[in-house]
């Protein structure tokens, strides 16, 4: 592993969570390979996200959500030493955007939290859902819940906030580590995907609007 970025990532036990994997031989695994292959072929990302003609939308979306979760986790893991209660007492994306945490358990009202606390709750909250067979079924033929895309929209809008925080508050660290190109590619892939299937409200995308228009023509 000669890439210092990856070395750094794999040495981080703290925020590097076990990846959700697709079992070989399952339909999801094949789909995951298909999605990866189109990326590795250096295809235009805008084309790579399009639904293959012989695939179901929910299957395609499920595979990508898990993949984005794994990758965004890694990105946050690399800067987490610089994202502390002291440096980031509020989960935000610049002075205009503050993100408050709300869930069905402890935080029933939107609550201001530090960025690291918010990130931990967010990653746990997503992990529980993608490992729940009732929401993300792994077996072929098991139907997705009727509200699947609603669930996914919420997951993806919250994952987008990780990009917002990383780009606005920690981009110098990303550049220092030489992983700017990697993070930008991951962001572009994510952005084209949510736009293709209309999975995030335009107002949620506001904080990175200028950067996005430069990066994703």
Q: Which residues are annotated as a binding site for Zn(2+)?
A: 83, 88, 165, 170
Find out whether 140 and 104 touch, Cβ atoms under 8 Å. no
Tokens of 33: 């390979």
Q: Any residues with CB less than 8 A from the CB of 217 and at least 6 apart, and which?
A: none
Q: Any residues with CB less than 8 A from the CB of 200 and at least 6 apart, and which?
A: 153, 156, 157, 160, 194
What residues does 119 pair with on adjacent strands? none
Reported for 212-216, long-range contacts at CB under 8 A and 24+ positions apart, including other chains, are 215/184, 215/187, 215/188, 215/191, 216/188, 216/191, 216/192
What residues does 100 pair with on adjacent strands? 112
| CB atoms closer than 10 angstroms to residue 87 | 13
Helix (H, G, I), strand (E, B) or coil at 101: strand
Q: Which DSSP symbol is given to 92?
A: B
Binding residues, by number, are 83, 88, 165, 170
């Amino acid at each position: 592993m000669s890439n210092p970025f990856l070395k750094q990532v794999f040495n981080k036990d703290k925020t590097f969570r076990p990846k959700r994997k697709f079992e070989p031989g399952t339909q999801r695994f094949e789909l995951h390979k298909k999605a990866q292959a189109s990326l590795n072929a250096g295809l235009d990302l805008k084309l790579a996200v399009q639904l293959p003609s012989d695939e179901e939308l929910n299957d395609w979306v499920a595979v990508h959500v898990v993949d984005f979760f794994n990758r965004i986790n890694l990105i946050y893991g690399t800067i987490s030493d610089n994202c502390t209660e002291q440096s980031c007492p509020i989960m935000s994306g610049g002075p205009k955007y503050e993100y408050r945490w709300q869930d069905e358990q402890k935080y029933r009202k939107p609550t201001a939290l530090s960025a690291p606390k918010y990130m931990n709750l967010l990653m746990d909250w997503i992990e529980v859902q993608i490992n729940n067979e009732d929401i993300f079924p792994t077996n072929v033929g098991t139907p997705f819940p009727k509200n699947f895309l609603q669930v996914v929209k919420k997951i993806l809008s919250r994952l987008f906030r990780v990009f917002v925080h990383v780009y606005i508050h920690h981009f110098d660290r990303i550049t220092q580590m030489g992983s700017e190109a990697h993070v930008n590619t991951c962001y572009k892939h994510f952005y084209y995907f949510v736009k293709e299937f209309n999975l995030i409200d335009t107002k949620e995308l506001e904080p990175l609007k200028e950067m996005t228009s430069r990066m994703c023509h």
